[in-house]
Amino acid sequence: MFDALLSGASLVFVWPAPALLLAGICIGLCLGVVPGLSGLTGMSILLPYTFTMETGPAMAFLLGMFSVTTTSDTLASVLLGVPGTAASQATILDGFPMAQRGEAPRAFGAAFTVSAIGGVLGALGLALSIPIVKPLIMSFAAPEFVMLGLLGLVMVGSLSGRSILTGLAAATFGLLISMVGYAPQGAIPRYDFGFIYLLDGLPLVPVVLGLFAVPEIIDLSRHGRSIARDRPSSENRATLFDGVKDAGRNWWLVLRCGALGTYIGMLPGLGGAIVDWIAYGHAVQTSRNNDNFGKGDVRGVIAPETANNAAKGGALIPTLVFGIPGSPPMAILLGAFLIQGLTPGPAMLSYHLDVTMSLVIILVIANVLGAIALMIWSKQLARLAYVPGRMLVPGVTLFVLMGAWMTGNQMGDWITLVAFGGLGVVMKRAGWSRPAFILGFIIGPIIETSLHLAMQIHGFSWLTRPACLVLGGIVVLTVATSVYREVKKRRAKTEADAAPKRASDQWISGDPPSVAATSAILGLIVAAGAAFAVWRSFEWPWDSRFFPLFSAAPLVLLALGAAVRDAATLRDRPVGVASLAGDWRDGATLLWLTAIVLLSYLIYQPLAIVLAMASYTLIALKGRWKLALAQAVCGWLILVFVFGRLGGVLWHPTLISF
């Protein structure tokens, strides 16, 4: 093993591998920063350049890039409340509130430290678990995935936000939306309404960007203030180093989330989009004092950021040893291996062990260097939190639009973005948990596909498989603990509330009336939609109908329940139409986004985006034409050269051409 480590090192440290490793790290850091771009984008762009390289440099380049995207994705999640990649969605929950309190540097310090540690743990996990990996991967088939999916789903209790009822409604809503497209059995498209775009189901990235990024753009545009609400005084300012200390103080959580990330990464098909949620849920459930989660608890940043870097080391194992790439980037990496003449299989652990070791070394170096680079760089970037909101809007919009567009180069991606943007705004105002929605949306297909396969292969006997029984036990335990905690919390609350107040003053969680009213209206609309979904499902054979029916039917009740309860709290406090509609600027921003989409049908897409950016600055910042011009020029260069030439983006065909 030691020999292999040495010859592995020689693959990484021989010129030009170190230079390409550094180049890869830089590219990866940039890709992670930009919402919507990720390691997958990087893999597909960089792959062709490795065709002519030797093995060492090629791997250093690709893997160096890939391993740091989940380090730098923290920047957008914390600063903007927009997930930098799908693997850092959970980071928003506590990272963004920290930035709003002016603690962005502290969040960064913690996140970068644990990203590096997580990445190194993942790499060590890769090296150490080689002997035990075979039985682990081989024992996780479809039935176990059903249970893992359920385990993810029951964590919704820790993400439910304002109330359990709206949290469950949001999660079930996410489940139902994930049922769009071909049923797992594959012959019947569901809820496609004749759109070919919907046959594959709704893609994750535009949905996530719509739910999280569009509401932030709208908020920035409305109040025009910077993200950090107040500038902290110099003596109690949270620094990067505070974050590093936070990481040290929570070393046990870091270790657990590192292990969790590595093993989840190892299971093919579960993927990076879910590992952060599981780690976050784990942190909430195992912490004694968990009232602060969701309001800027640094542990809520530490857990997902450790796990998402650790997952990458784990993900290499099934790809290398069994030729089973667990995620699209791994599929490309497998392609890169084949191009290098390296075939996956047991030989990667014997004959080619040096190559495997070189991957471990690359992961370690890239994770450490990436974190150090970001520690230095983030000082400048953290100032973004103090830039007036409206100056950020055009740039953020450009990257959000392109992030969605890169999904499939089709108008459907933008329409999805804007539609879910609208939904995101309403859910945010109604206090419905968007993370719960996303969790349901991601996990729905995992459970449905696995359940379908498990039932076809095993009938009901899969329920008695040992691994399923163990996982099932954990599921039951998790539900029991969250119920127990909820009950305890309620009791404490009623005791505290009982004494002095009059009944009419009591709000369920102190919501302002407009939140309750929006929630009531949203509840009614969702219930109506769910009822329609139930009705539609009766056209299909039972195996295609099962899941839509069993998410839509409870959703009708949950959404109605939420609506009735929220409407009841409004009896004494009427809400004006004006406060419901919100600020006119919100509608204007959403219209502006819609206009970009419509304009792109007519004229060359980059031109439409650049025009929209410039006109926004001219109107919102009252004729600062120099700034508008500068933004337009930068935007144009980025669109045409970075996305168009390097990224291989296919622009929408235009009706009017010059």
Residues that bind other proteins (CB under 8 A): 40, 43-44, 47-48, 51, 138-139, 141-142, 182, 184-189, 196-197, 199-200, 268-269, 318, 322-326, 328-329, 331-332, 334-335, 338-339, 341, 343-347, 408-410, 449, 452-453, 456-457, 541, 645, 648-650, 653
CB of 624 to other proteins, least distance (A): 37
CB of 20 to other proteins, least distance (A): 19
Q: Which two tokens stand for residue 433?
A: 């948990």
Which residue number, 45 or 564, has a Cβ lying nearer to other proteins? 45
Which residue number, 469 or 483, has a Cβ lying nearer to other proteins? 469
Identify the DSSP state of 209.
I
CB of 544 to other proteins, least distance (A): 9
Which residue number, 524 or 640, has a Cβ lying nearer to other proteins? 640
Q: Which two tokens stand for residue 585?
A: 């600027």
The string over 164-202, giving b where at least 16 C-beta atoms fall within 10 Å of a residue's C-beta and e elsewhere, is bbbbbbbbbbbbbbbbbbbbbeeeebbbbeeeebbeebb
Q: Which two tokens stand for residue 562?
A: 């939420």
Identify the DSSP state of 35.
T
Which residue number, 248 or 653, has a Cβ lying nearer to other proteins? 653
- DSSP letters for 212-274: IIHHHHHHHHHH---SSSSPPPGGG---HHHHHHHHHHTHHHHHHHHHHHHHHHHSTTT-HHH
Which residue number, 280 or 337, has a Cβ lying nearer to other proteins? 337
Which residue number, 313 or 318, has a Cβ lying nearer to other proteins? 318
CB of 337 to other proteins, least distance (A): 9
Which residue number, 199 or 372, has a Cβ lying nearer to other proteins? 199
CB of 38 to other proteins, least distance (A): 12
CB of 342 to other proteins, least distance (A): 10
CB of 44 to other proteins, least distance (A): 3
Which residue number, 306 or 605, has a Cβ lying nearer to other proteins? 605
CB of 55 to other proteins, least distance (A): 12
CB of 343 to other proteins, least distance (A): 4
Q: Look at residues 307, 293, 333 and name the one whose alpha carbon lies nearest to residue 255.
A: 307
Which residue number, 512 or 541, has a Cβ lying nearer to other proteins? 541
CB of 185 to other proteins, least distance (A): 5
CB of 456 to other proteins, least distance (A): 5
Contact (Cβ atoms closer than 8 angstroms) between residue 34 and residue 384 = no
Which residue number, 399 or 462, has a Cβ lying nearer to other proteins? 462
Contact (Cβ atoms closer than 8 angstroms) between residue 127 and residue 451 = no
Q: Look at residues 296, 294, 295, 279 and name the one whose alpha carbon lies nearest to residue 243.
A: 296
Which residue number, 152 or 201, has a Cβ lying nearer to other proteins? 201
Give bridge partners of residue 189 from the DSSP assignment.
182
Which residues are CB-contacts of 167 (< 8 A; sequence separation ≥ 6)? 156, 157, 159, 160, 161, 432, 433, 436
Contacts 24+ apart (CB under 8 A), 512-515: 513/569, 513/570, 513/573, 513/574, 513/575, 513/579, 514/429, 514/575, 514/579, 514/580, 515/162, 515/429, 515/430, 515/431
Q: Look at residues 569, 585, 425 and name the one whose alpha carbon lies nearest to residue 510.
A: 569
- DSSP letters for 152-172: HHHGGGGG-TT-HHHHHHHHH
- C-alpha–C-alpha distance, residues 395 and 203, integer Å: 23
Which residue number, 351 or 386, has a Cβ lying nearer to other proteins? 351
Which residue number, 95 or 403, has a Cβ lying nearer to other proteins? 403
Contact (Cβ atoms closer than 8 angstroms) between residue 167 and residue 159 = yes
SS3 content of the chain, % helix, strand, coil (to 5): 75, 0, 25
Give bridge partners of residue 190 from the DSSP assignment.
181
Q: Which two tokens stand for residue 420?
A: 């879910």
CB of 416 to other proteins, least distance (A): 12
* CA distances from residue 398 to 36, 73, 624, 643 in whole angstroms, order as listed: 11, 17, 19, 11
CB of 452 to other proteins, least distance (A): 5
- C-alpha–C-alpha distance, residues 315 and 43, integer Å: 15
